[in-house]
A and B are shown apart, each in its own frame.
Chain A
Amino acid sequence: MIFNRLKQQDLGLLFAVITLIGIGLVVLYTVTSSNQTGISTTFQKQLLYGFIGVIFMGIAAIFSPRVHYTFAYLFYIVSCLLLLGVLLWGDETKGAARWIDLGLFSFQPSEPAKIALVLVLARYVTDKKYDPRKPLHIMGTIAVTFIPLTLVLLQPDLGTSIVFAAILLAMLVAIGTPFSYLLLMITPICAALASVNTIVLLIYIIVIILFAWGMHMRMGMLILLIIANLVISLGTPELWNQLKPYQKNRLISFVNPEADPKGSGYQVIQSKVAIGSGGFSGKGLGRGSQTQLKFLPEQHTDFIFSVIGEEFGLIGATGVLALLFWVVYRGFHAALRTKGKYSALICIGLSIIITVHIFINIGMTIGIMPVTGLPLPFLSYGGSFLWTIMISVGLILGVGRRWKEYTP
């Protein structure tokens, strides 16, 4: 019976996931264990997390989408309460309160909140009354997203809030929100980035206006767009001053990591050196000098991809990238095949979570994204995140194997 069950599953996706966790464990073993200290507790913990993660994935796959469709709002409310709780009672590490101590272990409520947001948005927009053309309805999705986003931003956790924003955007695109509304939402963010330089900002505003004009946007919409852009771009310098110094440093060092090579740019430089020096075929497992001599920081968490790049070279990095892409691809594939609108949307949302993590994390290690502290799915050390991703895969599997059924 178990075999029959397994046969129904997306075996390719399962294989990719298990392989990626295996690679993560091997790399973790080489960077944390040595002949002197023996097998590290870090490795043992992650091995345990992996097993638990597989069980969670299985459980998530068992349930029909109908189940979480029903409980989506409940999940969402519980998640928001946990996020509020972590703000009030959480442990502070590195100037950010992200953890809840549950005695046996501690976990980050922002991780399951990602899933909860996907579920609640999917549920909200699949409501029969939802009209993607009504601004009020769009405002609803924004409001739903902004509650957890604000709570996470207050921790402060810039990376996770970017993930939340990405989920919202993906859902709106998937549900068929008119392009002009999307433009109205995205452009202020670009305006914020452009506000660092007055000339850049001016050019940007002109480009936006010409673009909107060319699309024959309605006049009211156009004025709204311009006002939104102006307000945000003028308000950004104020907001900048509100950022924590380490956040500012990370953003600055993203723009120019060599500006402070021993400070916040250090991580990115060392990571680029590690990956670049790996070359085509890498230095070999356990032979990466950047890794083994500890020049590479956070090598078992945020910068684990740098270890892969250094020790396995372009071949290994491409292989890992291909496996990660396969996972995402199967997510979208499930979304396309399923008959339920809600089911499709959660597959898209969950795949977007995985994609955004991959892009931001790997982008950070190769110097095209700022250091935001987002881990790499399946590979980075850490229980809460691994489980979140495993549950996401489980939910995708749950949708995928029911593609013939009529689900919400």
Chain B
Amino acid sequence: MLGGISLIAFLFLWIRLYQLQIIQSDKFQARSEANSVRVVEELPGRTLICDRNGRVLVENRPSYSLSLIPYEAKRNPHTISELSIILSRPQSELQALTQNKGLPSYQPVKLARDIDFHTLAAFKAREFHLAGVSYHFDPKRFYPYSVAPHTLGYIAEISESEKKKFPSRKTGDIVGKSGIERQYEDILAGRKGYHYMIVNALGQITGEIEDKYIPPRRGGKLYLTIDLDLQILAEKLLAGKRGAVVALDPRNGEILAIASAPKYDPEVFTGVLRSDDWQKLQNNPDVPLLHRAIQSGYPPASTFKMVTMTAGIEEGLVDEEYRHDCPGYYRLGRIYHCFKRDGHGELTPIEAIEQSCDAFFYKLGHQLGVEKIAHYMKIFGFGSKTGVDIDNEIAGIVPDKQYLDKRYGAGKWSKGLAINISIGQGEILVTPLQLAQYCGILAMKGLKARPQLFLEMHQGNGEVFQSKPEITHIDIKPATFEVLRSGMRLVLSGEDGTAKWLDDPRWHLAGKTGTAQNPHGDDHALFVGFAPFEDPVIAVAVIVENVGFGSTHAAPIAVELMTRYLEISEVPQIVAEEEPADSTGDSASDI
């Protein structure tokens, strides 16, 4: 009987063995692998960002961070105290980091980012006594020229909400937070590689399963449309001011320079962001973190007059014969003053742009009304985002009937609002980028290109992606552009041009000044311009806040940028004395 019981006992053991080793074998094999194989990521190194000529704007520097597996720290209490000495941080702080929110205790927690070599060496010396502690290479951005921080953006650890946007990323990963870094995160980040390391029960790596290794797909080079020389110049010209500059190629929308002032040091966001640095940036009254070129709305002031003129011509109110006698004011219920109180006298449409006569446009605005002006504003791209390839762009405001009804109540607003709007004042808000695009449309006689920053992507494997310009044509008659462009040319070349002292003998420049009245302080200075007049290659918009006249504070910046660009790109210069022989000829006869 006892022998029988023994036999049953043995059979029982064998049945259980069969169950474990045959029936459930797959499950245990998987667990055995999970036990001993630890996946170690190999970061690909973030793609470099260059200007259009391949000069590196953003590169990578080695940076090391230290991680700890909480479970190991619990098993070896000396780990925390030793790390506390190595990192010169209190034990309680490190302890708190390891007791994290519901993550499994074998998942490494980052203790310190961007540790210096001294600390790294101190850790390496004790590495084998510190089970579960490891160091990683992290991408850290470095900015050789410290330019365009707003546009390039910065990178930082992924947030919970961003994990939804990038489902393949996990806690601790670095992602682009703003600007180009965010817009092109997918191609900039490359793809992680994976090592399958064999670890023992102490968490020490004993080898690697080499045939399972997946190499990272390294990032290559992202070429932006920005021209570094022009960008540096733009930032230099804006230094110490508040405002924005956008220069673009009107033929294809490629942004050559885009600057916002004041700027900040992009290095602030690399490595560990110190909270007092962050506070300083956040609380600065000049809002250095604001990308004024795309996130700030300004009244366009007189730079807007070409829109009103377009509406006037297209609606049949203005033709070549049209003349307006400016007495220095326009009366509609009350007196609307022209900026020239003693009046411009009789003006042709072209002269009205040249001399920026307010009274001329008051009358036109009154005749057109807000809806017609708004209609033509929208044609030029105002009131909607340009679609530039960085985020957080604002649309600005086009004061159409719908907007005014909402603002003041249906029908409760005065028709006189159109008079203010006609000279780019009042409810209108536009971004510097929209102004540059608008100026580009005028330069190209109706060709509208979406502004863009992406030029080319050179992948690590040699593949190249090129951007395609997005071009449309707006529905305005060529003759209308003749008037607008001639007027803009005269702003610089005409006897009474508002920026005539800035004309350059080498190329025909064109533009329009603007001075925006500002209820909160001094006037904003504005200028939009393009060059060369005949075959434009650059269109510029400049806004400087609270400095006074556009002709004296914004126009010189724009002209310097345009002439510098024409120099760099070696645009053929005109023969001397050809300058007065303008395409319209009107300016000469009007002296």
Seen from chain A, the residues whose Cβ lies within 8 Å of a Cβ on chain B are 170, 173-174, 262, 270, 272-280, 289-290, 293-295, 309, 313-314, 317-318, 321, 324-325, 328-329, 332, 336, 348, 351-352, 355, 358-359, 362-363, 366-368
Contacts and interface: CB of A to CB of B under 8 A. Distances in A.
Given A279-B29, A290-B32, A295-B36, 16 more contacts: A173-B1, A262-B71, A273-B35, A274-B32, A275-B17, A276-B20, A278-B25, A279-B21, A293-B36, A313-B21, A325-B10, A329-B6, A352-B6, A359-B9, A367-B16, A368-B16
Contact of A293 (B3, B7, B22, B199): B199
Contacts, number: 115
B571 interface: no
Nearest to A275: B20
Contact of B17 (A309, A328, A351, A352): A309
B10 to A, nearest CB: 5
A137 B253 CA distance: 109
Interface of B: 1-3, 6-7, 9-10, 12-14, 16-18, 20-22, 24-25, 27-29, 31-33, 35-36, 71, 198-202, 206
B16 A366 contact: yes
B27 A276 contact: yes
Given A293-B36, A314-B21, A363-B13, A273 B200 contact: no
Contacts of A295: 35-36, 200-201
A362 B21 contact: no
A329 B6 CA distance: 8
Contacts of B206: 293
7 contacts: A170-B2, A277-B28, A277-B31, A289-B32, A317-B17, A329-B3, A368-B16
Contact of B31 (A174, A273, A329, A368): A273
B20 A174 contact: no
If over half of B's interface residues share one DSSP class (helix, strand or loop), that class is named, otherwise mixed; here it is helix
B1 A328 contact: no
A293 B6 contact: no
A318 B25 contact: no
A276 B198 contact: no
A294 B3 CA distance: 37
A366 B23 CA distance: 14
Contacts of A174: 2
B9 A366 contact: no
Contacts of A355: 6, 9
Contacts of B71: 262
Given A276-B20, A276-B29, A293-B198, A328 B6 contact: yes
A328 B18 CA distance: 21
Residue from B17, B31, B35 whose CB has the most chain A CB atoms within 10 Å: B17
A173 B4 CA distance: 13
- Interchain residue pairs A-B with the least CB separation, the first 7: A276-B28, A277-B32, A332-B3, A293-B200, A294-B201, A314-B21, A276-B20
Contacts of A275: 17, 20-21, 28
B36 A290 contact: yes
Contacts of B12: 368
Contacts of A170: 2
Interface centre among B2, B10, B18, B25 (most CB of A within 10 A): B2
Contacts of B3: 329, 332, 336
A348 B1 CA distance: 11
B28 A351 contact: no
B223 to A, nearest CB: 48
A277 B20 CA distance: 8
B2 A276 contact: no
Contacts of A289: 32-33, 35-36, 198
A313 to B, nearest CB: 6
